[in-house]
Amino acid sequence: MATVPHFHSITPLALTDDDWQLLDSVKDEPFTTLFYLGIDQDNWELAVVELCKRLALLTGNNARRIDAFFRQCALFSPRWDTIRRNGLTWGRHLTSQAIRENCLQLGLPSPVVVEGVMREGQLVVLSGDYHVGKTPLVRDLAFHVQNGLPWLGRETYQRDVVVLDFETPHTDFVVSLSRLQERYGGTGEVPLAYLLSAKAEDGRVRRLPYVSFKWDDRLRFIRDCLDRSYDALLIIDPAEHFFRFNRDRSTEIHNLYIRVREVLTEFPKSAIVMVGNHRRRGHRKGRPSLLKDPQGWLEGSAGNLDILNRCDVRLGLDFHDDPDLRVIHGVRRSESASPIIIRTVGAGEFLAGFEVVPSESVSMLLRLGKSQRRYWELLPTEFHFEEIVTAGIVPRSSLSRLLREVRAMGLLESSEGVHRKV
């Protein structure tokens, strides 16, 4: 049987001094016996699951840290990186099993796919306007999950990813993934992708085989994809091109969600992301803010709340006042959701995904309007109020309101009439 580099050429995590101190602090005798002494190889699989369960408790179910610890223990062998018949390495298979058993025993929710965003067994819908960047975003998500890399500041649980893309030209798809690889030093495996535009098989980028437009046949194709990798993340972009449904007919969408959820009951360790365009017509000015009112914003893409509630996770992607920034926010079933402010890495043909905007910038975005942020950028590091007004840089009333806001956020210090940016 063949072996593959762990995390597809992404370098395994190295243990830090804090990790070794944490390991030394464990006084559990079964743990220390398994970790330092190992066990007869005839019982290797059971012993590994037991040790991984204890490592899962130690690491908070962090799969990559479990892998890093396990590579230092007496039970480690080349078999850990050996591929099983289902396409997964033994390491991924047994780590996944250990995390799930822990979650069941402790009554915890299903293991995460992306921390704070989605879990195994969940149906996720991402919606947004044309040209807002939905396809580059899910491609960025696919690459990071495929390689177990943190995505937008959130941990991912590495697994195979399958992308069904009906809009991106073959060349553009390959180039965009090569940019993502360059971002990580030329390493990382690309997700398995089926493109409508692909002319021939190109590594893991393949032409979508002919499948009739009947929902039963299309759902059978999804089942075939998940049969090859039982815990895969499947991304359908856009969903309406794959299933050929009328997004203005709520009953039809409702029935589709039920059918897709039936697939998830057969493959509870996988997750499905369906991408679609925002349903609401008309000018953006009258739309609720995704950042401040995600529920109101999402009603425009869901049609009504009854359909909205059929999904486990409903996410929106929209521009912020600043055209270089975008907002991801939404609603999660029985869990809280936090907004993510992102910006592109590179641009145009050099686009290499997205990155999260620092938290201090997010605080400013939440509190300041577009014109206030522009005024703030015009102000020097140190200034007097009257000097700014006299020079016509910022109107008096606008400057007064701006200083109150930024002072409350801790971004401005004032002393004896002199204002200094922090």
Is residue 4 very low, low, confident or very high in pLDDT (cuts 50, 70, 90)? very low
Three-class secondary structure of residue 395 per DSSP = coil
- What mean pLDDT comes out for the span 96-114? 78
Reduced to 3 states (helix: H, G, I; strand: E, B; else coil), residue 330 is strand
Burial of 79 from C-beta contacts in 10 A (0-12 / 13-18 / 19+): middle
| pLDDT at position 96 | 75
Residue 365 confidence class, pLDDT cut points 50, 70, 90:
low
Q: For all residues of the chain together, what is the average pLDDT?
A: 81
pLDDT confidence of residue 109:
73
Query: How many C-alpha atoms does 106 have within 13 Å on its Cβ side?
Result: 16
Domains of the chain (ranges; CATH) run 17-106 (no CATH), 112-358 (3.40.50.300), 368-421 (1.10.10)
> Three-state SS for 332?
strand
Q: Which residues contact 418 (CB under 8 A, 6 or more apart)?
A: 382, 383, 384
pLDDT of 304: 47
Region 197-203: mean pLDDT is 72
pTM of the model: 0.68
9 pLDDT higher than 70: no
Instruction: Using the predicted structure, report yes or no on whether residue 142 has a pLDDT greater than 90.
Output: yes
φ/ψ (deg, to 5) at 40:
-55, 135
CB-based contacts of 396: which residues, under 8 Å, 6+ apart?
A: 389
- For the stretch 234-255, pLDDT in tens is 999 988 888 877 666 667 777 7
* 344 HSE (CA, 13 A, CB side): 20
Which is more confidently placed, 8 or 21? 21
Indicate whether 105 pLDDT > 80: no
* 264: its two tokens: 């998830």
Residue with tokens 């980028």: 205
Decide: helix, strand or coil at residue 300: helix
Map residue 82 onto helix, strand or coil: strand
Least confident of 63-77, 194-208, 391-405: 194-208
**Tokens 């109020």 identify what position?**
385
Residue 250 · residue 303 · CB < 8 Å: yes
pLDDT at 286: 65
The string of pLDDT tens digits covering residues 242-301 is 887 766 666 777 777 878 888 887 788 899 999 987 765 544 556 788 888 888 888 766
H-type alpha helices, 153-293: 170-183, 215-228, 239-243, 250-266
**φ/ψ of residue 352, rounded to 5:** -125, 45
Residue 308 has pLDDT above 60, yes or no: no
The HSE-up count of residue 310 (CA atoms within 13 Å, CB side) is 21
